[in-house]
């Protein structure tokens, strides 16, 4: 999108169809102008908007391919709460806490409702999350979103990560499986594709905060990486 437009102007262009939505996270470049080597939707629903795109603007090797990382996968229950479950599980893990199943479910629902509270109920706080509002209203009205998020099986994704990274003051990095990026059945590592809450990399005492690493698979599911 163009350089110095305000968020309000961008949102209006998205609504009237004169602008195209594409959200990427640094250091990965946009590849909307080129034939992308790989792209995927990470929104946790059946929409067609893009969460992130990986590839080179010149059509060459993706920078992400240079950063294959290795972790263990901690499986998360796929009941529609997987994003929220993975996030609460990760934050608890970083504190050395093992959540019981009912605690994980309850905490996941609390995160979902916390998003609803700041986006749908607290108008004075809503403007603090303009990136999330843009991501939400590209595909549906805010009213419809606020109705859907009440459901316990609401699938979280891009918009919710934008909100929760700030609410929880938590650095969150989303990965995809290496083999999905390559488009083949080989590759056992994980590739980072998006980062949220980068302003929270350090705590008040200047120590690096522990990262919550989420694994997104092409089946609209989030697990935890440790």
Q: What is the pLDDT of residues 152-201, one digit of tens each?
A: 889 999 999 999 999 999 999 999 999 887 776 677 899 999 999 999 98
Catalytic pick among 45, 82, 120, 179: 82
pLDDT value at residue 5: 56
Indicate if the pLDDT at residue 88 is higher than 80.
Answer: yes
Q: What is the CATH number of domain 67-225?
A: 3.90.70.80
Does this model's pTM top 0.75? no
Residues 6+ apart with CB under 8 A from 2: none
Q: Is 199 exposed, middle or buried (0-12, 13-18, 19+ CB in 10 A)?
A: exposed
Average pLDDT over residues 111-133: 93
Catalytic pick among 45, 79, 120, 179: 79
In whole numbers, what is the pLDDT of the chain averaged over residues? Answer: 78
In the chain, where the domains are located: 67-225
Indicate if the pLDDT at residue 12 is higher than 80.
Answer: no
Give tens-digit pLDDT for 36-45.
333 334 444 4
Catalytic pick among 45, 131, 146, 221: 221
Average pLDDT over residues 118-135: 92
Average pLDDT over residues 93-102: 96
Whole-angstrom Cα distance, residue 93 to residue 95? 5
More confident: 204 or 112 = 112
Give tens-digit pLDDT for 47-77.
333 333 333 333 334 454 458 999 999 999 9
Q: Catalytic: 221?
A: yes
Q: Catalytic: 153?
A: no
The answer to whether 194 and 173 have CB atoms below 8 angstroms apart is: yes
Whole-angstrom Cα distance, residue 58 to residue 222? 30
Residue given tokens 């609410």 in the structure block: 167
Average pLDDT over residues 208-214: 90
pLDDT value at residue 15: 52
Q: Catalytic: 79?
A: yes
Average pLDDT over residues 77-97: 96
């Amino acid at each position: 999108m163009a350089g110095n437009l305000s968020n309000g102007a961008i949102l209006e262009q998205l609504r009237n169809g004169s602008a195209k939505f594409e959200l990427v996270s640094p250091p990965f470049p946009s590849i909307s102008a080129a034939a992308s080597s790989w792209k995927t939707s990470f929104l946790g629903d059946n929409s067609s908007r893009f969460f992130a795109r990986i590839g080179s603007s010149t059509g060459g090797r993706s920078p992400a391919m240079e950063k294959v990382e290795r972790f263990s996968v901690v499986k998360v229950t796929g009941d529609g709460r997987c994003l929220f479950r993975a996030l609460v599980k990760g934050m608890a893990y970083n504190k050395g806490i093992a959540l019981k199943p009912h605690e994980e479910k309850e905490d996941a629902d609390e995160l979902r409702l916390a998003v609803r509270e700041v986006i749908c109920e607290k108008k004075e706080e809503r403007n603090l999350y303009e990136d999330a509002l843009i991501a939400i209203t590209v595909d549906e009205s805010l009213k419809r979103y606020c109705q859907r998020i009440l459901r316990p099986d609401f699938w979280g994704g891009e918009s919710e990560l934008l909100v929760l990274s700030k609410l929880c003051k938590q650095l969150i990095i989303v990965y995809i499986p290496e083999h999905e990026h390559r488009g083949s059945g080989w590759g056992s590592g994980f590739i980072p594709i998006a980062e949220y809450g980068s302003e929270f990399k350090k705590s008040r005492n200047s120590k690096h905060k522990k990262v919550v690493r989420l694994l997104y698979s092409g089946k609209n599911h989030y697990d935890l990486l440790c």
